[in-house]
């Protein structure tokens, strides 16, 4: 009754209405501010409402593939006498950029590299083969390319690319696939297949059997392809992946382990994954071991002390390199793994094709894993700094496992070919020709798509929406 006297029903309603709108307005503004700003410290209220977004911070995928690495350390025994090589061992210096290792050599050199292909194949086998209709009964969305391999040649059937970055990623991925099949020891044995690949970070249609750059544990029907960066990426201080690797080795000659800074470095954009990346910045704030700072690409004269731009190889000057996922996986991980440094990563949610080889414990430990909120970052760093011999061992294992084995061009090409062969086992045989109506009820045979060699000669417009349907 008292309430009633103080504010009438309509007043009350209006008050609720206005404060409701104000609250919603405040929330929206806070979230917009929190996810977009590059301000290094946020008010507590804004931090509270910051959405985790795509980063479901409770989830991660940890692999234990120690057995893979164990057999990787032994020479391959090729049992079949028909094989010229009784025993053959992968040698980084000799074979690292050999895109044409044969199937036995690939299997011997890179155990554990084909785990996700096997997983995807087994998942599909339980659900029936992929039909042509499965690949044609949906519209291609941003970043997708429908393509075919026939008689060892790569054909582009359809593209849906929306901007130049999209186009570059797609062309780089196709180029890498083309390189892998061109280099095959037995090119006629390459399977005839049709597939749809996407170069978007996030799977737009995760329930479809698509080829993607990364997946979460629940995206079981996605097939992983190597990141386009193995071919090359058009950014300052990058380039072809093996070029960056060579740079890292060159740097290491001048700056061996003992000459590195005993600090943890990280550079990145906060607004790609605000909650996750801000947690890293917060956890490192004010620590003597920290050189963690955000990068503002648009701000060339970056004014915050100590947070100037660092290229991927510049990060090799530090003993410890932090890694954080972005909108989905972060392509930066593979560059960080080129350094003889200790990679300190939160538990990863996004799986890339070679992630099964990441090992967070044991004698072959090749990186250091912390929680997704970085709550144990400080104690982890204290432990690493107190045990330099352990840190050195992890950094050496990082180089041995990744730079000198699983991140080589040889491994990338082996992976692409294994993907093609496995996809063939669970999908249809495409035909090179299709029947098209030719005016007066006549049908004729027409070759499908365009060869990769021709496609790369096309101009921008023709590449981003191929084929262009006549208006």
Ligand X SMILES: *[C@@H]1O[C@H](CO)[C@@H](O)[C@H](O)[C@H]1NC(C)=O
Binding residues for ligand X (CB under 6 A): 79-80, 131, 133-134, 208-209
| CB nearer ligand X, residue 34 or residue 203 | 203
447/248 Cα distance (integer angstroms): 45
Shortest Å distance, C-beta 429 to ligand X: 15
| CB nearer ligand X, residue 384 or residue 419 | 419
Shortest Å distance, C-beta 209 to ligand X: 5
Q: The tokens 């190597």 sit on which residue?
A: 226
Q: For 432-468, b where at least 16 C-beta lie within 10 A, e where not — what string?
A: eeeeeeeeeeeeeeeebbbebeebeeeeeeebbebee
| CB nearer ligand X, residue 210 or residue 384 | 210
Shortest Å distance, C-beta 207 to ligand X: 7
Shortest Å distance, C-beta 79 to ligand X: 4
Q: Where are the beta strands (DSSP E) in 207-323?
A: 211-212, 223-224, 261-268, 290-294, 318-323
Shortest Å distance, C-beta 134 to ligand X: 4
372/202 Cα distance (integer angstroms): 19
Shortest Å distance, C-beta 425 to ligand X: 16
| CB nearer ligand X, residue 98 or residue 134 | 134
Give the ranges where 370-433 is alpha helix by DSSP (H).
377-386, 388-398, 409-425
96 within 8 A of 408, measured Cβ to Cβ: yes
| CB nearer ligand X, residue 130 or residue 292 | 130
| CB nearer ligand X, residue 208 or residue 400 | 208
211/120 Cα distance (integer angstroms): 11
Strand partners, 266: 292
Q: Is the dihedral of CA 408, 411, 417, 422 positive or negative?
A: negative
| CB nearer ligand X, residue 111 or residue 209 | 209
195/428 Cα distance (integer angstroms): 10
In degrees and rounded to multiples of 5, residue 132 shows phi and psi of -60, -40
Task: Residue 279: name the closest of 27, 32, 52 by CA.
Answer: 52
213 within 8 A of 204, measured Cβ to Cβ: no
Shortest Å distance, C-beta 248 to ligand X: 35
């Amino acid at each position: 009754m008292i309430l009633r006297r103080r504010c009438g029903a309509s007043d009350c309603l209006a008050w609720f209405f206005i404060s409701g709108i104000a609250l919603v307005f405040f929330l929206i503004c806070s979230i917009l501010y929190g996810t977009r700003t590059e301000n290094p410290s946020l008010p507590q209220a804004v931090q509270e409402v910051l959405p985790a977004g795509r980063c479901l911070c409770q989830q991660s995928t940890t692999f234990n593939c120690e057995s893979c690495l164990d057999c990787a350390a032994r020479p391959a025994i090729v049992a079949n006498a028909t094989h010229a090589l009784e025993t053959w061992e992968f040698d980084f210096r000799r074979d690292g950029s050999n895109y044409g290792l044969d199937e036995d050599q690939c299997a011997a050199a890179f155990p554990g590299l084909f785990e996700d292909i096997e997983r995807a194949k087994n998942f599909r086998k339980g659900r029936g083969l992929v039909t042509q209709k499965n690949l044609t009964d949906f519209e291609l969305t941003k970043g997708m390319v429908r393509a075919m391999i026939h008689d060892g040649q790569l054909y582009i059937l359809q593209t849906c690319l929306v901007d130049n970055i999209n186009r570059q990623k797609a062309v780089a991925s196709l180029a890498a696939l083309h390189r892998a099949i061109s280099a095959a020891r037995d090119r006629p044995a390459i399977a005839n297949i049709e597939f749809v690949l996407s170069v978007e970070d996030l799977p737009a249609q995760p329930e479809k059997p698509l080829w993607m750059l990364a997946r979460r544990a629940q995206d079981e029907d996605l097939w992983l392809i190597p990141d386009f960066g193995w071919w090359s990426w058009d950014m300052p201080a990058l380039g072809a992946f093996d070029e960056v690797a060579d740079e890292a080795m060159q740097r290491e000659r001048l700056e061996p382990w003992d000459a590195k800074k005993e600090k943890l470095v990280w550079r990145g954009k906060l607004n790609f994954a605000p909650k996750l990346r801000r947690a890293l910045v917060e956890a490192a704030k004010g620590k003597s071991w920290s050189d963690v700072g955000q990068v503002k690409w648009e701000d060339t004269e970056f004014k915050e002390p100590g947070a100037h731009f660092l290229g991927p190889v510049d990060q090799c000057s530090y003993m410890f390199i932090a890694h954080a996922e972005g909108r989905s996986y972060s392509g930066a991980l593979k560059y960080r793994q080129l350094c003889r440094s200790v990679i300190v990563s939160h538990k990863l949610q996004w799986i890339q094709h070679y992630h099964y080889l990441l090992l967070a414990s044991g004698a072959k430990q090749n990186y250091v894993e912390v929680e997704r909120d970085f709550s144990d970052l400080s104690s982890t760093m204290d432990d690493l700094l107190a045990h330099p011999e352990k840190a050195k061992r992890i950094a050496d294992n990082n180089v041995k496992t990744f730079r000198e084995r699983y991140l080589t061009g040889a491994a990338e090409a082996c992976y692409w070919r294994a993907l093609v062969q496995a996809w063939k086992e669970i999908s249809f045989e495409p035909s090179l020709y299709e029947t098209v109506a030719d005016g007066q009820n006549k049908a004729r045979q027409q070759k499908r798509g365009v060869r990769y060699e021709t496609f790369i000669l096309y101009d921008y417009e023709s590449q981003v929406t191929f084929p262009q349907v006549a208006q």
